[in-house]
Structure formats: C-alpha cells, structure tokens
Amino acid sequence: MALATLKQIVDEAEKGGYGVGAFNVNNMEQIQGIFQAAGELESPLIIQASFNAVKYAGLRFLDHLMKAATETYPDVPVALHLDHGPDFDRCKTCIELGFSSVMIDGSIDYSSKEKKKPARSFEDNVRITREVVDYAHSFGVSVEGELGTLGGIEDDAAAEKVMLTDPDQAAGFVEKTGVDCLAVAIGTSHGAYKFKEKAVVEVDRVAEIHKKIPNTPLVMHGSSSVPVELTDKLNSFTVIKKGTDEKQGPFIDFLGKRYFMDKDYTSARELVYDLLFKNRLKKTMGVPIESIQQGIQRGVRKINVDTDGRLMITTAILDVLQAQPDKFDPRDYMGPARQAVYEMVKSKIFAFGSAGRAKDYKPRSLKAMRDYYEKQKSGGK
C-alpha cells in the first residue's frame, strides 16, 4: 500500500517543480475514476474529503473506500487528507482513523451559524493551528493551514470578507505554527461562481509568499476551471414531463415548475418562453489552466479541485438520461460519470506536470515521519 504523507508529496513536488491535484471525493465512483487516472499516468495523488463529504457518506465508509483504492493502486503514492478541517476534534478523529494528512482551517470560524463565516484573528488562527500541528505530528501526520480568506458563495467554507494572504504574515504564521504547507488566498474562491468576465488570480503574490517561506509548499484552493462547454451543456438539458391533475387538468412539468394547459394558454406561453430563455446556471468562469500553471511556476504544489468533478459527473448523468430516458439502472449512468471523472483528472494531471512522478520516490511511513518531527523538535537535522 502506498499511503504517503502530504508533506512528502508536496516536498517532492517542490523539488521537481510541479503541482499535484487534490481531488475532493464523496462516493465510490469519484474515488475509482481519480485513482484510475493517477494509476495510468503514474502520478502521485491527494485524495480529500471535506466535513460535508463526511456528513454525506459517513467517515468510515469514506475511509474504507479510500483505503480500498490505495490497496488497488499500490504504486500510486497517495495522501488521504481532510479538507477544511473546522476544529481540533474533527482533525483528531481523522488522524485516529488513519488519514495521513489534515487541513485545519483556522482562517474562519466554522462554528458561526452564518452562511458566510467571520474571519478569525491571526492570533486565534495560530493558536488553533498550532494545537492540531502538535497533535498530528506526534503521529507523523502532515498539516495544511490557511492564512487569508477565500470568497465563494455556495459552500460552507465561504468567508464573510475576502482577505488576500499577506506575505510577511505568512512567514510569521509558518514559524509560529509549524505547518507543512500553507493554503493562500490569491483571488480564487470555491464553487462554480468565481469570476464574471475575467479571471483575476494574483499569481505574483504566490511568488512573493514563496520568497518569504521557500520551504513551505503552497496550496491553491478554488482551482476548478468551470469549463464553459460544461456549463453550456448543463444549461441545454431539458427535462419535460406531461401529466393530468384531477382538478386542474393537463399540465407539463419543466425544470421544477408545473405549467397548466389552461384555456387561454397563458401557462403554455410561459413555458415556451422558459424553454427558450431560461438558463439554470448563471454566466460564470473559473480559474484558467494557464493561471494555475503560472501559480505552479511560482510555488503552488497542491491544487484543490472539486467543482469541475461535480460538473463532469452531472453532465455525464444527464447525457445518458436525456438520450435514453428509459434507463433506471444506476450503473448505466454512474459508469459514464466515473469515466468522466477519470478523463477530467487525466487532463489535470498532464496540466499540473505530475505525470510519471510516482516513480521518483517511495512513500515514507507515518512512523518514519513521526521520528522526523521528533528530531526536528529536539533541534536535530
């Protein structure tokens, strides 16, 4: 089994000057598609579960699915990672289960009931992060911290206010916390709605941060490219069903709305209008692959991708169901969804430059990493 730590994977990527994709997972097909791509292209891999993924699938299910994949692909060095760990307890649970890495996101307060979370002070972020680092390192487990806040409107990691990472503060943060890698805020955000007309990613800020902390690999969150072909395709699907209501007569259901075929055809006219003009996704754009590559040239080593996988899966499923509406065996649409994830991950692995890098090194065990951290603590080299 090739369980590696995040520290080793991103340190190797730093040496080789490439980036490694960190793909979010919630179910078996995603895990299989991602591993198949990394296995074929001999790429190291980071597989991550958010705490919402854990809520959805159950920690044990996810953990065993991820571990089944590491056993099936023994030549892929892989870090099993908790994405946006909100507090010490949830990081601890994942460490106890055998994750090789966790992110403690001390940049915002996840306990807030607000949809957009308030930012934490630098001092609070340091305190919360340091506690997780001390605990995790005593098991050889790596830690990703975050400084600065991402925007984003549609997920639980959305901050009230966007604060880009300050390079000087980043140096202080790494020194005080001892994190193995650092997530930086450079203008990207989570989800499908990142930029309206033009992507503005502050790649030069990456270079400035990297100059201050050259030994701490950097992480880019919100890195989905949200390809326009996919959003256009999603908008083009129409799912129409007709029926008859006992009291109100014939109707057509379209995009979650019921249109009654009343005498003056008002409803029918509305339907035609919606068919022609109503889109489900607003106009949006993601992070262009070129911006990610510029980030990699300047020090980004871990690239978080979730939304692109979601878009690929949903498009693949709708493709099947629209062409063959009689299909009801989940394998008929989940199989193509898995294939779509595989293709998406393959293209990212090529773009990030990690293809063929799995052979460069053998994963170090958690015990070896624990000894390494012990030695560091006692001042050894």
The verdict on 157 binding ligand G3H (CB under 6 A) reads yes
SS (H, E, C) 156-209: CCCECCCECCCHHHHHHHHHHHCCCEEEECCCCECCCCCECCCCCCCHHHHHHH
Specify the DSSP class assigned to residue 108: B
**Spatial CB neighbours of 345, under 8 Å, sequence gap ≥ 6:** 21, 23, 33, 34, 37, 38, 309
Cα–Cα distance, 18 to 299 (Å, whole number): 9
Active-site option among 11, 63, 83, 180? 83
Nearer to ligand 13P, 95 or 287 (CB): 287
Nearer to ligand 13P, 217 or 222 (CB): 222
**Range 167-186, binding ligand 13P (CB under 6 A):** none
The verdict on 53 binding ligand G3H (CB under 6 A) reads yes
Which of ligand G3H, Zn ion, ligand 13P, none does residue 53 bind (CB under 5 to 8 Å by kind)? ligand G3H
Nearer to ligand 13P, 11 or 306 (CB): 306
User: Quick check: is 87 catalytic?
Assistant: no
Helical pair 203-212 and 167-177, crossing angle rounded to 10 deg:
50
CB of 184 to Zn ion, least distance (A): 11
Nearer to Zn ion, 210 or 221 (CB): 221
CB of 313 to Zn ion, least distance (A): 18
Please select the residue that binds ligand 13P; options are 130, 137, 190, 346, rule is CB under 6 A: 190
**Range 220-249, binding ligand 13P (CB under 6 A):** 221-224
Tokens of 278: 């109503």
Binding mask 285-304 for ligand 13P (x = CB under 6 A): -------------------x
Which of ligand G3H, ligand 13P, Zn ion, none does residue 146 bind (CB under 5 to 8 Å by kind)? none
**Most distant CA atoms of the chain, gap in Å:** 85
H/E stretch holding 13: helix 6-16
Q: How many helices (H) and strands (E) does the chain have?
A: 14, 11
Residue nearest to Zn ion (CB): 221
Tokens of 86: 């909100």
Please select the residue that binds ligand G3H; options are 5, 8, 24, 70, rule is CB under 6 A: 24
CB of 156 to ligand G3H, least distance (A): 5
Tokens of 342: 């595989």
Tokens of 178: 């001892």
How many binding residues for ligand 13P (CB under 6 A)?
14
**22 in helix, strand or coil?**
strand
Interface residues with ligand G3H (CB under 6 A) are 24, 50, 52-53, 83-84, 155-157, 190, 306
